[in-house]
Amino acid sequence: MGGARRGAAADLLVVGLGNPGAEFRHTRHNLGADTVELLASRHGQRLRSERGTRALVAAVGLGGRSAVLAVPQTYMNDSGLAVSALVRRYGPLAVERLVVVHDELDPAVGRVKVKAGGGTAGHNGLRSVHAHLHDDGYLRVRIGIGKPPGRRQGVDHVLGAGSRAERDAFAVAVELAADAVEDIAANGVDAAMTRFNAEPDQGSARF
């Protein structure tokens, strides 16, 4: 996956999906971006614009490995433009060294699950990543936002922040998702799936 490398290679590339702009911050669709911002903060770094990547980027150490954290500055539907640019800059990467953190409708609100490969589950950001990478085997950390109630349109649901109770659940989920990325880096995806996909205990969020 990738091509000619343009920058320093990374052991792990972690991308948090979202939409740019203050109006989208902390909405359901930006939980992936929130997670990567939290990871950067945990490791004493701040995401900064990186020329040629269409993303905000920080370099950190995770689990004894060099990692690049990134939040695309494209809109969600064009996430693959940024991800492919990041892969070119910091790759070439084996597919299991790319971790995409994103919201997903199917898991219950606040549930965090880890997955290796698979489909898009109707997520437009993942569709774009698939289209640009031509490979669906990358790792995912999925944050459940629940399906929209009644006849509410999906776009309104994902671009909303949720009720107070949901926002509290999402705050915990972002902590757990950051833990999951760190677990993948330190112990591998199989160990992370065992820990985070179990019901109902999802490990220890940091407070």
CA gap 5, 166 in Å, rounded: 41
Q: Provide the token pair at 53.
A: 């990547």
Q: Provide the token pair at 189.
A: 């995806």
Residue of 29, 102, 123, 157 with catalytic role: 29
Where do the DSSP E strands lie in 32-144?
Answer: 48-50, 55-62, 65-72, 98-104, 112-116, 139-144
CA gap 42, 40 in Å, rounded: 5
Q: Provide the token pair at 13.
A: 């590339």
Q: Provide the token pair at 18.
A: 């979202």
Active site residue 157: no
Q: How many CA atoms lie within 13 A of 138 on its CB side?
A: 30
The beta-carbon contacts of 52-55 under 8 Å, at least 24 apart in sequence, are 52/6, 52/85, 52/89, 53/82, 53/85, 53/86, 53/89, 54/81, 54/82, 54/85, 55/15, 55/82, 55/85, 55/86
Q: Which residues are catalytic?
A: 29
